[in-house]
Structure 1
Amino acid sequence: MAVTLAYAIIFLLTLVWYRFVRRQRKKSQGKAQTELPPGSMGWPYIGETLQLYSQDPNVFFASRQKRYGEIFKTHILGCPSVMLASPEAARFVLVTKAHLFKPTYPSSKERLVGPAALFFHQGDYHSRLRKLVQASLSIEAMRNLVPDIDALAASTMDSWHGGHVVNTFHEMKKISFEVGILMIFGRLEARYREELKKNYFIVDKGYNSFPTNIPGTPYRKALQARKRLSKILSDIISERKEKKLLEKDLVGCLLNSKDENGEVLTDDQIADNIIGTLFAAQDTTASVMTWIVKYLHDNPKLLEAVKAEHKAIKRLIEESNHPLSWSHTRNMPITYKVILETLRMASIISFTFREAVADVEYKGYLIPKGWKVMPLFRNIHHNPEFFTDPQKFDPSRFEVAPKPNTFMPFGSGVHACPGNELAKLEMLIVTHHLVSNFRWEVVGSESGIQYGPFPVPVQGLPCRFWKESTT
């Protein structure tokens, strides 16, 4: 009897397995023999996450590209993923077929920024918000921001003088935060600015922490600070509505916007996009400016050329008795190439996350619906096929425009960073004050990169700064 029951169970299991296999074969028949890209999915569930975070991310991605080619699969952060390391593939995902790949972020990060922030969306809502951000960053708006950015860069950097050790990255974050406040609010009352700064930095600290909602953890503190930010922003928005101001800063653009049905944005939508803009504007720009300090320090001949460019501008400023202006920032060709080369070398945004909204075929490979898709900007920027001797810092390479889709420091397509021109303006102004007024030395180790998550020199590049003699 027992033997008969055992045979019956085996028969039923075999039948179930047979039907499962037939069903899977039928599903694959319409895919024209399409197969997944080569690569390793690593261990069950954890995939290759440990390998990614236990070594230099550059080594992780480069080693797999060398082994599998410019499209390969992996499994990281609990997600099956396809990595793309060619300009054509990046354009396919970000431009040509952008509608098939939606932006995707962990829900823990979305909670801290706010679900209505533009970079979590695609389609009509995203398009509307993007246009509003771009309207607040018109040429006229940026031209008017130059004196204020100039003044805050000068005041922040004055505190560096004296030879004491300065954490360059932290100081650059202060500047970027204040520039973000200027762009979003214009001239904001000091009481609001200080409360925003205090709570924003708590949120910023918890943003990349382990997302556990346990009292005392950085993530829990960040959630609480995010609630306080909502209250502060609600008060600012209410004041703006009462005064009925028609300012052209970001808050003004958001408040005065109506869609085709005459609907205005809610206060929560406005708050989420304000915080999203602060996140987009701060760490990335501060990271690039920190690398500029390091690369100029490491290249004395280049530093002298940049200094000469800015001393000439400083003489013009002194002769005219007017502060740094928009026209001055348009006449910094060497510095501009230094910025471009820093963006390439540092590749602050090493890759971007997308998610396939349908099964997609690319070059004979299947990208399944729901899989994460990651164009690898850093791999493209460091490919010797596109940039000769890619590990050498050489701004002169930008005397000739890079090949299409090989240089994407601000992303590409409809989700490219709308604030990229403001970021470059900020870098130009900070560099002007840096090389015109200071000499500096790096303290401790001069090599090494840490990720948090953006790449910055080890320990935020500790430096000592001294004011240059004016004689």
Structure 2
Amino acid sequence: MYKAFMFGSPTIMVTAPELCKQILMDDDHFVPGWPKATNELVGKKSFLGISVEEHKRLRRLTASPINGHEALCSYLQFIENTVALTLESWASKGSIEFLTELRRLTFRIIMKIFLCSEDEILIKSLERVYTDLNYGMRAMAIDIPGFAYHRALKARRTLVAVLQSALDERKAMRRTYNLTPTKNDMMDRLMEVEDANGRKLCDEEIIDVLIMYLNAGHESSGHITMWATVFLQEHPDVFEKAKFEQDEILRTRPPMQKGLTMKEIRKMEFLSKVIDETLRIVNISFVSFRQATKDIYLNGYLIPKGWKVQLWYRNVNLDPQSYPEPKKFNPSRWDDFVPKAGSFLPFGGGSRLCPGNDLAKLEISVFLHHFLVNYQLTRLNPNCQVRYLPHPRPVDNCMAKITRIKR
């Protein structure tokens, strides 16, 4: 553990796997301790800033509409159709910024799932707004023109206005025409859910949940998909093994079946290891924040009440004690391997486990399936530098050509 003064608060940085897990799981001594900028931008009623009890309630109400089996099945066909058409369009172009295009793809998918919107103008404008929001998440909370946080606050106000307008429109339609939900997207589902006492989510809760998911649902998925594709292309042996698995899924498919099924997704065992290995090496959410609610000793160190704790997942996931040759991309390391406690936390853990983790892996799996069986990627600047904030990415956003494989 290391002591520092960060984001205006005394802070302890933790890199040991066991301690990371212990602190993340301990809701009796720790609460979320995200910086002011993150809490303000994601929203006071989002998962990040609410109390433990409110967090449990919100997770219960939103788990099924977002990550449940029925919900994932209902999203699968749209995700697959969108991926297939998008890859085909990329192959007809010259060079593209692969990461930029992937973020647009995943944002288009998440907009359809959450708001039933395929309005290209709205999607493009909101995607740019989310870029500003994301850059302000871990910036200093300086609300002065020219600073990232100032731009991010403006972006949040835009998002709140758009979502509130959509909510008001749907409420008005229901009152005027006594209509039941017809779109059945995430907004409709969040408007309908209620707890055991009949209490529904208020507008602020719905908006903050949507802002959080719309951001996480395209940023994380887009970046991990890019890195997984790059790693596969850089490791021909891994590519061939992953491609063989996907070709076998197509070969054994019933003749009349059109498109992927959830059963086939579950059969992608090696591809799942590719995704886990990518998450381990890249780890989009490389740090998490907690705050001590009382004095507590861990491994002989005192963490005083009120101090912030930073959990550095990246250090944990690259720990050579847990992973021999930790920087080597090796999906086969996951064969019959169970990581020790706290050494693999790509989606957080405990009560703070990312509630959209299965949706994210579904998006990534569908993209990689279609890429492996039909396409290849050629980077134009394979040795360009990597920028690590706010997420690890090549400085050229992975300039590349997508080529369709002749079969």
TM over 0.5: yes
Which of 285, 301, 306 aligns to 2:221? It is 285
In the TM superposition, 1:165-204 aligns within 5 A as 165-185=95-115, 187-188=116-117, 190=119, 193=123, 196-197=126-127, 199-204=129-134
Partner of 1:311: 247
- Contact 2:231 2:329 (C-alpha < 8 Å) held by counterparts: yes
Whole-angstrom CA distance in 2 between matches of 1:205 and 1:403:
33
Q: Deviations over 1:56-88 (max 9, x none)?
A: xxxxxxxxxxxxxxx222233333211222222
Whole-angstrom CA distance in 2 between matches of 1:91 and 1:392:
24
- Contact 1:102 1:121 (C-alpha < 8 Å) held by counterparts: no
Partner of 1:456: 393
Partner of 2:75: 145
Partner of 1:225: 155
- Contact 1:196 1:229 (C-alpha < 8 Å) held by counterparts: yes
Residue correspondences, number:
398
Q: Deviations over 1:274-328 (max 9, x none)?
A: 1011122222221211111111121011111222222233345583351122222
Whole-angstrom CA distance in 2 between matches of 1:337 and 1:105:
30
**Is 2:3 aligned against 1:79?**
no
Which of 427, 443, 446 aligns to 2:364? It is 427
Whole-angstrom CA distance in 2 between matches of 1:415 and 1:256:
24
Partner of 1:417: 354
Structure 1 window deviating more from structure 2 (319-328 vs 136-145): it is 319-328
Cα 1:334–1:259 change in 2 (3 A) is closer
Which of 247, 250, 258 aligns to 2:194? It is 258
- Contact 2:39 2:48 (C-alpha < 8 Å) held by counterparts: no
**Is 2:87 aligned against 1:157?**
yes
Whole-angstrom CA distance in 1 between matches of 2:193 and 2:356:
19
- Contact 1:103 1:353 (C-alpha < 8 Å) held by counterparts: yes
Q: CA RMSD in A?
A: 2.4
Partner of 2:34: 105
Cα 1:197–1:450 change in 2 (3 A) is closer
**Is 2:58 aligned against 1:129?**
yes
- Contact 1:166 1:464 (C-alpha < 8 Å) held by counterparts: yes
Which of 79, 89, 98 aligns to 2:19? It is 89
- Runs (5+) with no aligned partner, structure 2: none
TM-score in terms of structure 2 length: 0.89
Give the letter aligned to residue 77 of structure 1: F
Which secondary structure does the structure 2 equivalent of 1:319 belong to? Answer: coil
Give the letter aligned to residue 143 of structure 1: C
Whole-angstrom CA distance in 1 between matches of 2:316 and 2:128:
38
Once the 2 structures are TM-superposed, how far is the Cα of residue 330 of structure 1 from its aligned partner? 1.6
- Contact 1:247 1:253 (C-alpha < 8 Å) held by counterparts: no
Partner of 2:168: 238
Once the 2 structures are TM-superposed, how far is the Cα of residue 162 of structure 1 from its aligned partner? 4.1
- Contact 2:97 2:399 (C-alpha < 8 Å) held by counterparts: yes
Once the 2 structures are TM-superposed, how far is the Cα of residue 467 of structure 1 from its aligned partner? 1.1
Q: Deviations over 1:375-400 (max 9, x none)?
A: 22222211122112212111111112
- Contact 1:450 1:459 (C-alpha < 8 Å) held by counterparts: no
Once the 2 structures are TM-superposed, how far is the Cα of residue 333 of structure 1 from its aligned partner? 1.6
Once the 2 structures are TM-superposed, how far is the Cα of residue 209 of structure 1 from its aligned partner? 5.6
Partner of 1:441: 378
Cα 1:366–1:216 change in 2 (3 A) is closer
Which secondary structure does the structure 1 equivalent of 2:326 belong to? Answer: coil
Q: Deviations over 1:141-168 (max 9, x none)?
A: 1012111110111222223214622222
Whole-angstrom CA distance in 2 between matches of 1:256 and 1:396:
44
- Contact 2:95 2:399 (C-alpha < 8 Å) held by counterparts: yes
Structure 1 window deviating more from structure 2 (197-206 vs 383-392): it is 197-206
Q: Deviations over 1:328-365 (max 9, x none)?
A: 21221221111111111112222211111211111221
Give the letter aligned to residue 129 of structure 1: L
Give the letter aligned to residue 15 of structure 2: A
Cα 1:320–1:448 change in 2 (3 A) is farther
Structure 1 window deviating more from structure 2 (301-310 vs 407-416): it is 301-310
- Contact 1:85 1:380 (C-alpha < 8 Å) held by counterparts: yes
Higher Cα Rg, which structure: 1
Partner of 1:298: 234
Whole-angstrom CA distance in 1 between matches of 2:146 and 2:9:
29
Whole-angstrom CA distance in 2 between matches of 1:209 and 1:443:
31
- Contact 2:107 2:123 (C-alpha < 8 Å) held by counterparts: no
Cα 1:338–1:322 change in 2 (3 A) is same
Structure 1 window deviating more from structure 2 (336-345 vs 116-125): it is 116-125
Give the letter aligned to residue 40 of structure 2: R
Whole-angstrom CA distance in 1 between matches of 2:107 and 2:62:
17
- Contact 1:203 1:225 (C-alpha < 8 Å) held by counterparts: yes
**Is 2:190 aligned against 1:269?**
no
Q: Deviations over 1:208-264 (max 9, x none)?
A: 566543446554443333223222212221233323328764323321233455433
Whole-angstrom CA distance in 1 between matches of 2:398 and 2:392:
11
Whole-angstrom CA distance in 1 between matches of 2:127 and 2:312:
33
- Contact 1:202 1:221 (C-alpha < 8 Å) held by counterparts: yes
Whole-angstrom CA distance in 1 between matches of 2:191 and 2:389:
34
Whole-angstrom CA distance in 2 between matches of 1:394 and 1:310:
18
Partner of 1:467: 404
